Chain A
């Protein structure tokens, strides 16, 4: 029975079941992003001290919901959609066990709803980390557990699909690099979800009274195996999306498949160990554990990110130069399609992730200089650079590509889509930079009142800290506007976008398959192995991507300067003799 359709614009093959599952997961992710965005208004306008919008209880409630929806539900729903795309579509194979995939999706939705209800009821304002001995309502933990189980089913459906593709020989040679990146993300997801189960199941039992004690330090260590690794799934996933988008937009091929795959292997080996940076100031844990997991192992993962940061734009530059854009160092970049939100979103994601997220991540992972900014607002600034811009913007860019290809609708309000990556990136970058500054001045994260009104032990921040939080607040509002523009375009496209196929109706936008006549392919053609690039051959002595090399050097210089500024700052605030 025929079950594939081919997209006439992109040439991608879509398995009927996988297509519906990609759609519903992406939509569930967008709904989570909407909730996260609405709650972000309350968070950012409260931390902007002159506005100070919410009372304390509502602030912590909004912060809890914002964190979980943005950092867990939005990204993992979307990542499951990416896993199905990277396996079924890219390998031209049917999805393994679609019924199990639907069960996984339903569990994820039930879990997400249950957790949001618990937060909305007001007795679970324990923030995303839900550190014991703070206790939430049982359905807060149960919701997270159900969501994790559903996601785990999705991950194993992905692995099953890889097995089917291999058995059916639907591709020649090795899996494409994008699929290999998705495999990396899925492997990290297994560890992430297993860590979540190990700590959330006993915590749930504790919340209903079956267990009388959860050790706070034990909780922190295992919970961060979930909390931080979930963000490492993002890194592997959005790097894969970068390779995909560079390939689709420019026909760019990795400069070296071997090097890029080795970089993904470094992620598999070392990226998850970076969880340890959250524990760097915890007493009772040895320096050996802290230093091995962060300052040794983590740097190998950072090396992998630097490789990707070099090879993705490098591949793009090589492809552009082959088209004749060879003038000077940056003609290839100047003449890139800046008006296409798929490109601008992808490129801003790459630059902001590397320059801000990457550099600040290394500072936070160094035991000594981490002391300056640990648990300050510097930390959310860092992960807004990595997750809110690096991952989210890459996913937004991918959405603009998928709306015509997967949903068969044209973009609604294309001029809004064109502006959106600029508005979102500008707003978020302002917010991030000023929050980094405020964090360096010691402003706490997750703190309702910078004034310490009525506190027994008060503290007065310098005026500059207030100014930085205010400018950061303006940037945050602009970033939220950018997020709203994304949702306007995506939801508008699904509902009002011009149909690119007659049967792409409203229900089809939300997961119902297209008319049966659209799926007229029994088995797609075998995916051929790409020929080796000239740039991959030994002895290609030319300097293939000089512009990218200059950008990489700019990153390296920025990193070195910023790193030593932090050491100098540490020496001034913490004098040792």
Chain B
């Protein structure tokens, strides 16, 4: 049996755990979500209001 087969492989970290442990990815998502759905969408709504004549 080759020697490398005896070396235990590191446990694979599940995707969801990797997501929760990636602070800066969470920071990006946490800022992007409200920026897109609340701020930008809200600004677009206001910008498309017709100007009174």
Contacts and interface: CB of A to CB of B under 8 A. Distances in A.
B46 A284 contact: yes
A167 interface: no
Contacts of B31: 187, 190-191, 194
A272 B45 contact: no
Interface hub of B19, B20, B21, B27 (most chain A Cβ within 10 A): B20
B39 A268 contact: no
Given A190-B27, A190-B31, A195 B39 contact: yes
Contact of B37 (A162, A198, A217, A297): A297
A265 B23 CA distance: 11
A292 interface: yes
A89 to B, nearest CB: 18
Given A187-B31, A190-B30, A268-B29, A273 B20 contact: no
Contact of B26 (A215, A268, A292, A293): A268
A229 B43 contact: no
A175 B22 CA distance: 11
A285 B39 contact: no
B23 A183 contact: yes
A222 interface: yes
Contacts of A272: 30, 33-34, 38
Given A293-B38, A297-B37, A268 B46 contact: no
Contacts of A186: 27
Contact of B38 (A190, A225, A269): A225
Interface string A163-206: 00000000000110000100110111011001100100000000
A220 to B, nearest CB: 9
Q: Is the interface on chain A under 10, 10 to 19, 20 to 34, or 35 or more residues?
A: 35 or more
A383 interface: no
A187 B38 contact: no
B7 interface: no
A162 B23 contact: yes
Interface in B13-53: 17, 19-21, 23-24, 26-27, 29-31, 33-35, 37-39, 41-43, 45-46, 49
B42 A187 contact: no
A183 B17 CA distance: 15
Main secondary structure of the interface of A (DSSP, over half): helix
Contacts of B43: 218, 221-222
Contacts of A268: 26, 29-30, 33
B21 A159 contact: no
* Most chain B C-beta atoms within 10 Å of own C-beta, residue among A191, A222, A284: A191
B20 to A, nearest CB: 5
A427 B10 CA distance: 56
Given A195-B39, A215-B46, A269 B21 contact: no
B20 A261 contact: yes
Contacts of B33: 268-270, 272-273
A286 B45 contact: yes
Nearest to A163: B23
B11 to A, nearest CB: 11
A191 B26 CA distance: 12
A279 B42 contact: yes
B38 A276 contact: yes
Nearest to A175: B21
B20 A265 contact: yes
Contacts of A338: none
A175 B17 CA distance: 11
Contacts of B35: 191
8 contacts: A215-B46, A268-B30, A273-B33, A276-B38, A276-B42, A284-B45, A289-B42, A293-B38
Interface of B: 17, 19-21, 23-24, 26-27, 29-31, 33-35, 37-39, 41-43, 45-46, 49
Interface of A: 159, 162, 174-175, 180, 183-184, 186-188, 190-191, 194-195, 198, 215, 217-218, 221-222, 225, 229, 261, 265, 268-270, 272-273, 275-276, 279, 284-286, 289, 292-293, 297
In the A-B complex, list the 6 residue pairs whose CB atoms are closest, starting with the nearest.
A187-B30, A272-B34, A268-B30, A221-B42, A284-B49, A191-B31
